[in-house]
Amino acid sequence: MGTRIAVVGAGTIGGAIAVALKEAGHEVVATRRNVEKASWLKEKGVTVTRDNRKAAGEADVVFLAVKPGKVGAVLGEIADVVEGKLVISVVAGVSLKELKRLASAKFVRAMPNIAILARESFTAYSTDDLDGDEVELVERLLRTFGACVRVEEEHMDAITGLSGSGPAYVTVFLEAMVYGGLRVGLPRDVAKLAALQTLLGTAKLLMETEAHPAEVREWVITPEGTTIDGVFELEEGKIRTAVMKAVDAATKKSRILSKKV
Ligand SMILES: NC(=O)C1=CN([C@@H]2O[C@H](COP(=O)(O)OP(=O)(O)OC[C@H]3O[C@@H](n4cnc5c(N)ncnc54)[C@H](OP(=O)(O)O)[C@@H]3O)[C@@H](O)[C@H]2O)C=CC1
Ligand SMILES: O=C(O)[C@@H]1CCC=N1
């Protein structure tokens, strides 16, 4: 049976959450102030309103998806109607301790990514005072987004820097792959499909074989062949350092976001 869900803050990620849950058979009400910008949600059967208190008050589970700087005001507005309820926050950088200071709800801190739109999110979550049935409900809801893993809260900022922000890094790499293809004369549509399918296929291969990425790379590099020349250029461009620095910078930013509440 479907659960009654309110998504408070139906922007980019809140909208994706609302649609995924609606399509999984739940009753979903989504809120934002500019409701005219949420017509795509209505088309998917999500009820849209400006009324946070009514939406949260009538729901069994509330998702919180506003920006960190809005959490204090929004939780202040709905605190009494979410008392004792499950509230799943996907807000970057805001700790369970901070959330509990703002309302007496049963909080879950979760970090999905935009691949919810394709039901292929990696979502990590953390919580400390839910019973077994509540944890089961949370996982059932989060699994509608894609893969879901429970972690200690100390890892949530790093998860934000790695997989929460990750789709942005991957699209930079993908765009570069496509440009590389254009530079050596491929038609645009072929270059795009070649890059996308290569990413998808490599990820699937690594998942299925559980091989280390370095091992798969060795399978591709033929001695004196083509790939080693490409890999040589990548290493000279310090791609690994660049990606590690990107994850590090986003993690550090997540760690300071709590100060904005
Ligand atoms: N984008 C992503 O990939 C991810 C984002 N997140 C987290 O999700 C949160 C939202 O990010 P994102 O979706 O990118 O940002 P958006 O700006 O797209 O969404 C935030 C939404 O909150 C709404 N909002 C603001 N104030 C209120 C209010 N008082 N009541 C109800 N709704 C309100 C805004 O709409 P309006 O102005 O119309 O009210 C807006 O649509 C952030 O905390 C971020 O850390 C987490 C994982 C991934
Ligand atoms: O950029 C942000 O702050 C959010 C959190 C993770 C992805 N987007």
- pLDDT tens, per residue, the chain with 261 residues: 689 999 999 999 999 999 999 999 999 999 999 999 999 999 999 999 999 999 999 999 999 999 999 999 999 999 999 999 999 999 999 999 999 999 999 999 999 999 999 999 999 999 998 999 999 999 999 999 999 999 999 999 999 999 999 999 999 999 999 999 999 999 999 999 999 999 999 999 999 999 999 999 999 999 999 999 999 999 999 999 999 999 999 999 999 986 666
Please choose from 66, 89, 169 the residue to mutate so as to test ligand 1's pocket, defined by most ligand atoms within 8 A of CB.
66
Ligand 1 pocket residue status of 171, Cβ below 6 Å:
no
Residue 103 and residue 140 in one domain:
yes
Residue 75 and residue 39 in one domain:
yes
Closest ligand to C-alpha of residue 88 is 1
Residue 98 and residue 149 in one domain:
yes
Model pTM above 0.95: yes
86/107 Cα distance (integer angstroms): 6
Closest ligand to C-alpha of residue 63 is 1
Angle at 199 between CA 196 and CA 201, to 5 degrees: 105
Residue 128 and residue 90 in one domain:
yes
| pLDDT of the residue at 2 | 87
**CATH label of the domain that carries residue 252:** 1.10.3730.10
Residues 6 or more apart whose Cβ sits within 8 Å of residue 74: 8, 9, 52, 64, 66
In a domain, 160, yes or no: no
Q: Which of 109, 130, 154 is a domain's end point?
A: 154
Residue 154 dihedral angles phi and psi, to the nearest 5°: -60, -20
In a domain, 82, yes or no: yes
Check if the interface score ipTM surpasses 0.85. Answer: yes
Query: How many distinct structural domains can be found in the chain?
Result: 2
Residue 200 and residue 170 in one domain:
yes
Residue 70 and residue 184 in one domain:
no
Which ligand 1 atom sits nearest the alpha carbon of residue 34? 38
State the chain's mean pLDDT as an integer.
97
Which ligand 1 atom sits nearest the alpha carbon of residue 15? 13
What's the burial of 253, exposed, middle or buried (CB within 10 Å: 0-12/13-18/19+)? middle
Q: Which of 154, 179, 207 is a domain's end point?
A: 154
Q: Find residue 121's DSSP bridge partners.
A: 146
Residue 194 and residue 231 in one domain:
yes
184/63 Cα distance (integer angstroms): 47
Domain ranges, residue 41: 4-154
Residue 130 and residue 50 in one domain:
yes
138/188 Cα distance (integer angstroms): 42
